[in-house]
Amino acid sequence: MFHSAPAGTLNVTLVEGKNLHGEDLVGKNDPYVELWLNKDYKQRSETVQDNNNPVWNKTFTFQINQGSSEHKLYFKVCDKDKVGEDKIGDGHLNISEVFKNQELDTWGDLPAKMGLSSHGKLHFIISFTPSM
């Protein structure tokens, strides 16, 4: 059961990625991550060159409106190529606990097709600061 969120700021720190699935035939990924609560406002990390275990340590902020029912953080990891990009994986986290003043320090999985294997995982630290 979801409760509506209070107004405030959601802070999402993208710490690192582990064991990102290699999309390139040669070398390692050049991964970046897109984050969103709704598709109208996506944020994107920097690209980390040639690394399947990237470290970003980047904090993103999302303004939460009073009564918001957006309780999932969606993420997609892509491999930046010279021409275009390849999707490494995507997933989401239920973040409703952070609206109860609980910091969330967790890993989000990037399941492979049909969930039979993993394309890696991302480490997030998520907190919420209510508006005064």
Instruction: Map out the domains of the chain as residue ranges.
Output: 8-130
More confident site: 27 or 126? 126
Strand intervals (E) in the chain:
8-18, 31-36, 42-44, 55-64, 72-80, 85-94, 104-111, 118-130
Fold (topology level) of 8-130:
Immunoglobulin-like (2.60.40)
Residue 57: predicted pLDDT: 98
Structure tokens at 54: 């990237």
Q: How confident is the model at residue 11 (pLDDT cuts 50, 70, 90)?
A: very high
Beta sheet of 72-80, edge-to-edge order: 42-44, 31-36, 72-80, 85-94
Report the percent of the chain where pLDDT is more than 70: 92
Per-residue pLDDT tens digits for 59-89: 999 999 988 888 899 999 999 977 778 899 9
- pLDDT at residue 101 is higher than 80: yes
CA distances from 84 to 23, 30, 34, 78 (A): 13, 12, 15, 10
Residue 1: predicted pLDDT: 43
